[in-house]
């Protein structure tokens, strides 16, 4: 029998973990001589108080949706894809090539083409670690870490030596043509009569990310393949016995994961920068891990967690602007969330289980 | 390439290999006891900051070293708490430790020094000075041997000599002492160790503690010897290169030294020559940056001898009742 009701596992534990992370973050802010209550107010005001703030919050959230889903899909097959960062970098390269070298007549086609290009490059970057895991037993965590660094070197080489326009000192591609420009949320919502900030970078790829959420939910819980992925993740022995090929599941789960991470490029490369720059991913691949852990690898949970982290990112930027709290405070909060929801899960779970068992005994 | 250039490149190889070696041996102790540690980077970074900060404030590099090691040990304690006591996921814990250090160091540096997340530059007394080996001056004019002795081997900071001395010490501790036997056993078969009445938890915490100590030395070396002060993210992936070296060396101390020297050489060459011409083909500098990681993947793939990690690595131990 389960020791705890399901709602406690899915809602209560993440909330308590989040609360612990928040308490320690508040102590850190106190420790550097700032007021945590004022900081939270400033963050809420800056990230959610205006459509401008929302525009940034949703822009960051879009990145985290893609990388969070990427980590989640791999988690379902019990693999830890720590390489979302590298896959997203390569996805950026794929999207940039598609945008630069194919004359797109309309943004919607460019978005589809760019998304496919990004997904293929991201998946390809995940394919080698996946193959080595499935066939040679090389630990996927270590290989994907290594591939993050190799991706950074590849991107550096390509931008400095191949794609940099002549005469430019900046290691970045040329600006994408005008036809590739993705509508911002301002342009999407204006015909509906909704006023949305013009300056904020949130764009139509937010809707692509939402579609990806639905797609992952359908895939994992409503298809045979999703069932096989989950079965393999629960028990490799059991899956093998049921005739599920570990090689096939490992490859498919990782390719999907890489493709999702790569598709982040529709937002940060095509939607915002409109060219490929070095370090365009800004660590979003790692935040995906926090998002997947917080969201319990469920697309809806990932959605909520991505919005939360989008809020933290935009709020953190506001803090850095108006107070003496540096932007890196967000990295601390992110680390605490990963620590409490991921590694120290049992610290919260064990006492809670005891409480629930005691309660049940009391009733019986 | 003339002889003097060669000596200079090898000299900087030794300097650059030192932090890798210390961190690699740190990982070796932890992983041999069955605790994966991808948080070497974070522990080094924390130690680099606290050693530089304390050395800058007090002007005493030894106090700085102490503070660096202490900060690294605290992070080790967190990793141990998460992965040994609460049987959490060691990889996630390692990642969180690294992120924690990446954020914390800048937040505190900004609060203490207001210089954009760095410490003030360290003056002479805040750094580890070079140690000149005996007769280094006297023999420097002897051909071949002279430069090798006085340029290459002499004149490094004490932490360099300590790092290389740690290699035989690690070998001896792991393969010639009872503690070492038990430590290796706990990484392969913790049940057997437990059956023999020895504490698995105690041994693993000891290993994680040694790991913290060595990472602390590595970080302190970065900030107080190799460079003069802390800058944001100054470890620049060295913790992961050390991890790569550990796999490359297949978790053995002498091989770890070889792997770290090799990766140190790659860094030294990349630093000195930007693009390398080899028989008409230009090897770009980015290739040199990526080579340690590529080599590690090749080794992991088992094409050049298989790298088999300690058997119980990454698995929390649950005592049977």
Quote the ipTM score.
0.89
Residues within 8 A of B (CB atoms), A 158-177 only: 160-161
Q: Are B214 and B166 in contact (CB under 8 A)?
A: yes
Determine the Cα–Cα distance for residues A157 and A27; give it in Å rounded to an integer: 43
Residue A9's pLDDT band (cuts 50, 70, 90): confident
Q: Which residue has the higher pLDDT, B4 or B77?
A: B77
- Name the residue facing A32 among B102, B107, B247 (closest C-beta): B107
Query: What's the maximum distance between 2 C-alpha atoms anywhere in chain A?
Result: 79
Q: Is residue B276 part of a domain?
A: yes
CB of A64 less than 8 A from some CB of B: no
Please give the average per-residue pLDDT across A264-293, as a whole number.
90
Q: Is residue B315 part of a domain?
A: no
Q: Is residue A302 part of a domain?
A: no
Q: Is residue B319 part of a domain?
A: no
Q: Nearest-CA distance from A162 to chain B in Å?
A: 12
Please check the confidence at residue A196 and state whether its pLDDT lies above 90.
no
Q: Is residue A94 part of a domain?
A: yes
Q: What is the pLDDT of residue A111?
A: 94
Determine the Cα–Cα distance for residues B124 and B138; give it in Å rounded to an integer: 25
Determine the Cα–Cα distance for residues A289 and A77; give it in Å rounded to an integer: 15
Please check the confidence at residue A1 and state whether its pLDDT lies above 70.
no
Q: Is residue B308 part of a domain?
A: no
Please give the average per-residue pLDDT across B48-57, as a whole number.
94
Q: Is residue A198 part of a domain?
A: yes
Q: Is residue B320 part of a domain?
A: no
Residue B306's pLDDT band (cuts 50, 70, 90): low
Please give the average per-residue pLDDT across B24-31, as a whole number.
95
Please count the structural domains in chain B: 1
Q: Is residue A13 part of a domain?
A: no
Residues within 8 A of B (CB atoms), A 290-329 only: 293, 324-326, 328-329
Q: Is residue B258 part of a domain?
A: yes
Q: What is the pLDDT of residue B172?
A: 97
**pLDDT per residue as tens digits for the range B249-293:** 889 999 999 999 999 988 888 888 766 666 667 778 888 888 888
Q: Is residue B100 part of a domain?
A: yes
Task: Report how many Cβ contacts below 8 Å link chain A to chain B.
Answer: 149
Residue B105's pLDDT band (cuts 50, 70, 90): very high
Residues within 8 A of B (CB atoms), A 230-249 only: none
Q: Nearest-CA distance from A298 to chain B in Å?
A: 18
B61: left (phi over 0), alpha (psi -120 to 50) or beta: alpha
Residue B316's pLDDT band (cuts 50, 70, 90): confident
Neighbours of B131 (CB within 10 A): 14
Q: What residue numbers bound the domain in which B228 lies?
A: 3-127+137-300
Neighbours of A218 (CB within 10 A): 12
- Residues 6+ positions from B201 with CB-CB distance below 8 Å: B84, B85, B317
CB contact under 8 A, B92 and A343: yes
Helices (H), A49-199: 51-76, 84-101, 107-136, 140-157, 185-189
Instruction: Express as a percent the part of chain B with pLDDT over 90.
Output: 51
- Residues 6+ positions from B258 with CB-CB distance below 8 Å: B249
CB of A80 less than 8 A from some CB of B: yes
Please give the average per-residue pLDDT across A237-241, as a whole number.
89
Q: Is residue A77 part of a domain?
A: yes
- Give the C-alpha distances (Å, rounded to integers) separating B244 from A1, A125, A170, B70, B109: 43, 19, 31, 25, 29
- Name the residue facing A339 among B87, B96, B309 (closest C-beta): B96
Please check the confidence at residue B314 and state whether its pLDDT lies above 80.
no
Please give the average per-residue pLDDT across B302-320, as a whole number.
76
- Give the C-alpha distances (Å, rounded to integers) separating A292 from A170, A364, B18, B83: 34, 37, 37, 20
**pLDDT per residue as tens digits for the range B106-127:** 999 988 988 878 888 888 777 8
Angle, in degrees to the nearest 10, between helices A224-234 and A205-222 = 70
Q: What is the pLDDT of residue B128?
A: 85
Mean pLDDT of chain B: 88
Q: Is residue A47 part of a domain?
A: no
Q: Is residue B306 part of a domain?
A: no
Q: What is the pLDDT of residue A153?
A: 93
DSSP run (H or E) holding B281: strand B281-283
Q: Is residue A171 part of a domain?
A: yes
Lowest mean pLDDT among A178-187, A245-254, B273-282: B273-282
Q: What residue numbers bound the domain in which A218 lies?
A: 62-281
Determine the Cα–Cα distance for residues A120 and A248; give it in Å rounded to an integer: 18
CB contact under 8 A, A146 and B296: yes
Mean pLDDT of chain A: 90
Please count the structural domains in chain A: 1
Q: What is the pLDDT of residue B1?
A: 62
Query: b or e along B190-208 (b: 16 or more beta carbons within 10 Å of the residue's beta carbon)?
Result: beebbeeeeebeebbbbbb
In total, chain B counts a number of residues equal to 321
Determine the Cα–Cα distance for residues A20 and A28; give it in Å rounded to an integer: 12
Residue B202's pLDDT band (cuts 50, 70, 90): very high
Q: Are B75 and B132 in contact (CB under 8 A)?
A: no
| Beta bridge partners of residue A203, listed in sequence order | A184
Report the CATH number that the domain containing residue B176 is assigned in CATH.
1.10.3470
Q: Are A71 and A292 in contact (CB under 8 A)?
A: yes
Q: Is residue A320 part of a domain?
A: no
CB contact under 8 A, B99 and A137: no
Please give the average per-residue pLDDT across B185-209, as a whole number.
93
């Amino acid at each position: 029998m389960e020791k705890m009701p399901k709602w406690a596992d899915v809602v209560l534990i993440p909330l308590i973990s989040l609360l612990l992370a928040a308490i320690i973050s508040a102590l850190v802010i106190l420790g550097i001589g700032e007021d945590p209550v004022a900081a939270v107010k400033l963050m809420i005001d800056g990230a959610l108080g205006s459509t401008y703030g929302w525009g940034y919050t949703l822009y960051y959230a879009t990145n985290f949706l893609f990388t969070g889903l990427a980590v989640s899909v791999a988690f379902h097959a019990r693999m830890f894809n720590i390489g979302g960062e590298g896959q997203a970098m390569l996805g950026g390269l794929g999207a940039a090539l598609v945008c630069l070298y194919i004359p797109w007549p309309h943004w919607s086609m460019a978005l589809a083409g760019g998304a496919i290009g990004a997904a293929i490059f991201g998946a390809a970057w995940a394919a080698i670690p996946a193959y080595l895991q499935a066939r040679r037993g090389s630990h996927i965590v270590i290989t994907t870490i290594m591939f993050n660094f190799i991706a950074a070197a590849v991107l550096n080489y390509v931008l400095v030596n191949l794609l940099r326009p002549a005469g430019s000192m900046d290691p970045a591609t040329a600006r994408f043509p005008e036809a590739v420009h993705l509508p911002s949320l301002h342009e999407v919502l204006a015909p509906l009569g909704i006023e949305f900030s013009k300056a904020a970078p949130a764009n139509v790829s937010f809707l692509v990310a939402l579609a990806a959420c639905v797609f992952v939910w359908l895939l994992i819980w409503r298809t045979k393949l999703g069932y096989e992925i989950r079965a393999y993740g629960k028990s490799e022995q059991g899956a093998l016995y049921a005739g599920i090929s570990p090689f096939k599941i490992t490859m498919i789960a990782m390719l999907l994961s890489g493709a999702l991470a790569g598709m982040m490029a529709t937002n940060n490369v095509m939607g915002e920068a409109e060219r490929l720059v070095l370090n365009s991913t800004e660590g979003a691949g790692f935040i995906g891990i926090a998002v997947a852990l917080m969201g319990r690898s469920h697309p809806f949970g990932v959605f909520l967690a991505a919005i939360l982290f989008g809020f933290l990112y935009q709020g953190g930027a506001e803090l850095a602007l108006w107070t003496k709290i540096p932007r890196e405070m967000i990295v601390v909060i992110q680390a605490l969330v990963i620590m409490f929801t991921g590694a120290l899960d049992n610290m919260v779970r064990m006492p809670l289980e005891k409480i629930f068992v005691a309660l049940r005994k009391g009733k019986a | 390439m003339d002889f003097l250039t060669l000596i200079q490149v090898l000299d900087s190889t030794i300097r650059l290999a030192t932090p890798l070696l210390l961190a690699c041996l740190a990982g070796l102790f932890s992983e041999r006891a069955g605790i994966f540690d991808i948080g070497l980077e974070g522990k080094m970074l924390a130690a680099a900051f606290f050693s530089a900060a304390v050395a800058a404030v007090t002007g005493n590099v030894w106090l700085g070293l102490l503070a660096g090691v202490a900060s690294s040990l605290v992070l080790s304690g967190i990793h141990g708490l998460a992965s040994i006591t609460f049987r959490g996921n060691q990889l996630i814990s390692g990642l969180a430790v690294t992120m924690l250090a990446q954020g914390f160091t800048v937040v505190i540096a900004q609060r203490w020094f207001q210089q954009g997340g760095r410490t003030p530059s360290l003056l002479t007394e805040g750094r580890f000075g070079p140690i000149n080996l005996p007769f280094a001056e006297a023999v420097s004019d002897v051909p071949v041997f002279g430069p090798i002795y006085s340029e290459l081997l002499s004149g490094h900071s004490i932490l360099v000599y300590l790092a290389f001395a740690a290699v035989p010490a690690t070998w001896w501790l792991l393969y010639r002492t009872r503690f070492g036997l038990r430590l290796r056993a706990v990484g392969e078969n913790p049940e057997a160790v437990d059956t023999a009445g020895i504490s698995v938890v105690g041994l693993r915490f000891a290993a994680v503690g040694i790991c913290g100590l060595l990472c602390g030395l590595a970080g302190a070396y970065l900030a107080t010897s190799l460079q003069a002060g802390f800058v944001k993210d100054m470890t620049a992936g060295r913790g992961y290169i050390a991890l790569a070296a550990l796999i490359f060396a297949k978790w053995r101390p002498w091989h770890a030294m070889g792997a770290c020297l090799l990766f140190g050489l790659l860094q030294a060459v990349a630093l000195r020559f930007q693009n390398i011409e080899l028989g008409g083909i230009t090897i770009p500098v980015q290739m040199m940056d990526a080579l340690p990681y590529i080599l590690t993947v090749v080794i992991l793939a088992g094409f050049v001898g298989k790298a088999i990690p300690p058997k119980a690595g990454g698995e929390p131990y649950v005592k049977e009742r």
